[in-house]
Amino acid sequence: MNYFEEGEKILKSGKKRILLHSCCAPCSSSVLWYLMPLSYVTVFFYNPNVMPYSEYAKRLTEQRRLCSIMGVNLVEGDYDAERFLSFACDMKYIPEGGKRCEKCFYMRLKATAEMAQEGDYDYFCTTLTVSPHKNADKINEIGNAVAKETGISFLPSDFKKKDGYLRSIKLSKEYELYRQEYCGCRLQDKI
């Protein structure tokens, strides 16, 4: 399935209110660039997987700065590292891209869907699919499962398509955004 095309069909059918989960400012830069002309977007920064807290604070500061530059509202989720660690510590030996990542995606997408329900949004989605290191099929599968659980629609996406990832690099340079060297979870470093 081409998730990018599926999402684009929805977006072109009329402006929707979208709550966009953002993993970081660099990834959200290109996704916002794409979504803003087609929808009403609010960014939701919820990433309890990012460690240590100093790194989380740096990423949140950059997200605030980007949202200010682009004129987008930002909702800040709680930093609840204990929630992430409650399941992740038992999975620290699983390589990146495995079940630990899937549970992390689920946790963040579920929180986004719940926030979208509270805010009466039409859709929720995530910037995670802009990364060439993330499995868009798996993220969309999890997003659709969360949509069934919560009753709020998930916007299908594969934001790396049509040079989305390359655009994120270009916009990061243009806005002088901090580009981190890792996803957020440092459990592999502890092995």
In a domain, 165, yes or no: yes
Report the pLDDT value the prediction gives residue 188, as an integer from 0 to 100: 56
Provide the CATH number for the domain around residue 150: 3.40.50.620
Rounded Cα distance between 75 and 71, Å, is: 13
Residue 97: give the domain boundaries.
17-176
Task: Tell me how far apart the alpha carbons of residues 44 and 66 are, in angstroms, rounded to a whole number.
Answer: 13
Q: What are phi and psi of 107, to 5 degrees?
A: -55, -45
- 96, part of any domain: yes
CA distance 33 to 76: 20
Q: Which residues contact 127 (CB under 8 A, 6 or more apart)?
A: 20, 21, 22, 23, 24, 27, 28, 31, 159
Task: Let me know if residue 108 belongs to a domain.
Answer: yes
Q: What pLDDT is recorded for position 99?
A: 87
Q: What is the model's pLDDT at position 106?
A: 97
Q: Is residue 27 part of a domain?
A: yes
Is residue 185 included in any domain, yes or no? no
The closest of 25, 19, 185, 42 to 111, measured between CA atoms, is 19
Which of 145, 133, 59 has the alpha carbon at shortest distance from 95?
133
Please give the pLDDT value at position 87: 82
Domain assignment present for 8: no
Give the count of domains, the chain: 1
Per-residue pLDDT of the chain (191 residues), as tens digits, is: 999 999 999 999 999 999 999 999 999 999 999 999 999 999 999 999 999 999 999 999 999 999 999 999 999 999 999 998 888 777 776 777 788 899 999 999 999 999 999 999 999 999 999 999 999 999 999 999 999 999 999 999 999 999 999 999 999 999 999 998 877 776 655 43
Structure confidence at residue 137 (pLDDT): 98
Angle at 103 between CA 97 and CA 4, to 5 degrees: 65
Residue 29 lies in a domain: yes
* 9 located within any domain: no
